[in-house]
Amino acid sequence: MAIKVLIVEDDPMVAEFNKRFLSMVEGYRLVDIAYSVEEAMEQMEEKQHGIDLVLLDIYMAGDNGLEMLSAIRQKEIPIDVILITAATDTENIQSALHHGAIDYLIKPFEFERFKQALMRYKEKFELLHRRKKLNQLELDQKLLNSDKEKVIENKALPKGLTKSTLLIIINTIKKAKTFSTDEIAESTGISRVSVRKYLTFLVKIDVLEETLTYGIGRPVYQYSYKEHSEILDAYLK
């Protein structure tokens, strides 16, 4: 799913420059270029669900980019904005951040910084569009830009659980996808009681989803692994 982008820039040469940079980043598609705030607002209101991200300049003839950003928020248009501008004063920067700009690139900038901004946005975009729920570690690492290593250092396994056994169980359940306690115990050679402790822990930290199934005999807990969960990094490093 390509991220759809509108470039808002009144200098045709700079707009073309941004367009070329955008074409060099995988996962993005240019919707159009608007050369004024008025033109951009018209396009966003017409194509509201056809634009995900706006690359926006501040200094333009007529209304400026910050006025446009403010209007987007007031109208509650569900579009994200990255500022690409020569404005370096703290007042403009603070205003952009207060109005929810997700990044701020100061002209002139290198392609690597442009790419970094877009790759970071892509990671957040995909996470929010592919998942219905997030755990705290994912929220910290992927959306709030918390220090990953600092978070990891504070995580310790509950008493009685070891990293080596957890790793064996994790490697087994990744292959199985959907499984029961007995199936993991049989595959790993670890006792059913021990396996149950690890699976209970993994459910608690939102790495596994647990469902109770009814059939012949006693009810059985079935588990499924949440592929995108990265919280295990905090316990295995």
Q: What is the pLDDT of residues 16-67, one digit of tens each?
A: 999 999 999 999 999 999 999 999 998 887 766 689 999 999 988 878 899 9
Tokens at 207, concatenated: 């790495």
How many angstroms separate the CA atoms of 168 and 63, rounded?
A: 60
Which of 108, 111, 43, 32 lies closest to 72 in space, CA to CA?
A: 43
How many angstroms separate the CA atoms of 152 and 95, rounded?
A: 33
Q: 36 near 59, Cβ under 8 Å?
A: no
Q: Which residue has the higher pLDDT, 211 or 228?
A: 211
The pLDDT value recorded for residue 35 is 94
Burial of 12 (0-12, 13-18, 19+ CB in 10 A): exposed
Q: 202 near 158, Cβ under 8 Å?
A: no
Domain 151-236 coded CATH 1.10.10.10: yes
Which residues belong to CATH 3.40.50.2300 in the chain? Answer: 3-130
Which residues belong to CATH 1.10.10.10 in the chain? Answer: 151-236
Q: What is the pTM of this model?
A: 0.59
Q: What angle do CA 26, 139, 205 make, to 5 degrees?
A: 120
CATH superfamily of 3-130: Response regulator (3.40.50.2300)
C-alpha distance from residue 54 to each of 8, 29, 179 (Å): 7, 12, 44
How many angstroms separate the CA atoms of 200 and 207, rounded?
A: 10
Q: Is the pLDDT of residue 147 over 70?
A: no
Burial of 195 (0-12, 13-18, 19+ CB in 10 A): buried
